[in-house]
Structure 1
Amino acid sequence: MEHLEKRLNNACYSIRVLSKYLDLKTLKTVYYANFESIVRFGIIFFGHSSDTNRIFLVQKRVLRCILKISSRETCRRKFKSNKILTVAAIYIQEILIFTFKNINNFIGNPRSDYNTRNRNINLLYPVHHLTITEKNVHYSCTKIYIKGYKKSIYLLLMHLEPYHLQEYFEM
């Protein structure tokens, strides 16, 4: 996680330097290429970690550089108005896409492998006794996929602007 944070801080520095010379549209393009692409890579494995809050703090710093606002000003509605997903929203979106693409790994029917063409997919949570199991990828994929669908998830996440996963689950 420290390596990821270092790479994101480097991207933040480059965006801060470029913000003196580039307009908002170009800065957002640089953000997507140099910051969000790094965050998205492998986020389904580390996105449930408590260390993602450090990544989110770097993301807020980058947003402040892009928008040229002070460090004391809140970013709460700035993500939404600029159509930038928060780290928590990126995690949720990537989990949903991964689950959608690999839905057969999450479907459970212990009695038969026969395809009944049933539209109601029966997703099963992994059997567990420890809360640490709830932090693994398979459990997170199932839980988040049950809560939302791929079709309109981007708009939902943009509207919700979650700072933490709990905000998504409480909606």
Structure 2
Amino acid sequence: MTKLNMTLKCNDKIIENTTSTTFLGIIMDELCTWLPHIVKVCNKLDRFVYALHRLKNTADKSTALTAYHGYVASVLRYGLILWGNARDINRVFIVQKRCIRAICSAAPRDTCKPLFQNLNILSLPSLYIYEMACFAHKHRTLFTWYDDIKKNSRHPNKIVYPPCRTTFCQRSCYRMLIKIYNKLPAPLKSHPLIIFKKKLHKWLVNQCFYSIEEYLNFNHICIE
């Protein structure tokens, strides 16, 4: 992406250029890579891994799990729909897996899929899918639906893609949200929001996706 060299003024004062800025706790950089924010999240969670080890050893697994939901999960979910598809997102996922291993006293090379499932915790890619899908399901008026354009559409409960010609647009939060929601099994999308969230969470825990690509290439089974 090409940088724009601009000089902006406010009340005859030049606004200083910066490579990144923090807005409501989320760090936005000039090229929209989200790397500064990802580094911030990794640093926060890295420091908490030791705390989870201590809690597991001095208290019990249940206490460590409560701490995970109170701190780690909240850090991961904050603004995730914005930065969850960043190129360097796997760095955060690696730290999340360290947290899960700490709770379960697992070895560094142990696979985390069964641990996520046993703890009923969403992997970071699954959590991103969950947040995006819930947003689309809750805010239906923000999108154009095939059902609204044509009755008895061959694409029930699917969102119409907006025109998009650039790579940046293809990776945008808005377009990725549509892609994720449209990929969900049709029976799941027919439920009201409260039931939708419960069934989606259960299904994502069972599948435990390790990447967005894995989800988009997955052959979904119908959900009752």
TM-score range, shorter chain: 0.7 to 0.9
1:140 is aligned to 176
1:33 is aligned to 70
Tell me the TM-score normalized by structure 2: 0.68
Is 1:128 the counterpart of 2:175? The answer is no
Answer yes or no: is the 8 Å Cα contact 2:81–2:173 preserved in 1.
yes
2:207 is aligned to 160
2:9 is aligned to none
CA change 1:108–1:76 in 2 (3 A) is closer
**Percent identity between the aligned chains?**
27
1:96 maps to a residue whose letter is A
What is the CA RMSD across the aligned residues, in angstroms? Answer: 2.2
CA change 1:158–1:122 in 2 (3 A) is closer
Separation in 1, partners of 2:119, 2:157: 35
TM superposition shift of 1:17: 2.3
Separation in 2, partners of 1:122, 1:154: 20
Separation in 1, partners of 2:177, 2:109: 35
Structure (1 or 2) with the greater strand fraction: 2
User: Superposition pairs for residues 62-141 of structure 1, below 5 Å?
Assistant: 62-107=99-144, 120-121=156-157, 123-141=159-177
Please say which structure displays the higher CA radius of gyration.
2
Structure (1 or 2) with the greater helix fraction: 1
Structure with higher RCO (Cα < 8 A, 6+ apart): 1
CA change 1:121–1:84 in 2 (3 A) is closer
2:63 maps to a residue whose letter is T
User: Superposition pairs for residues 5-84 of structure 1, below 5 Å?
Assistant: 5-84=42-121
Tell me the TM-score normalized by structure 1: 0.88
Separation in 2, partners of 1:50, 1:122: 27
TM superposition shift of 1:68: 0.6
Greater CA deviation, 122-131 or 156-165?
122-131
Q: Which runs of 4+ in 1 moved over 4 A?
A: none
Separation in 2, partners of 1:57, 1:107: 36
Unmatched 5+ stretches in structure 1: none
Number of residue pairs matched by the alignment: 166
Give CA deviations for 1:38-96 in whole Å, capped at 9, x if unaligned: 10010000111121101110011111110011112221221112211100010000001
Question: What SS class does the counterpart of residue 61 from structure 1 fall into?
Answer: helix
Is 1:169 the counterpart of 2:205? The answer is no
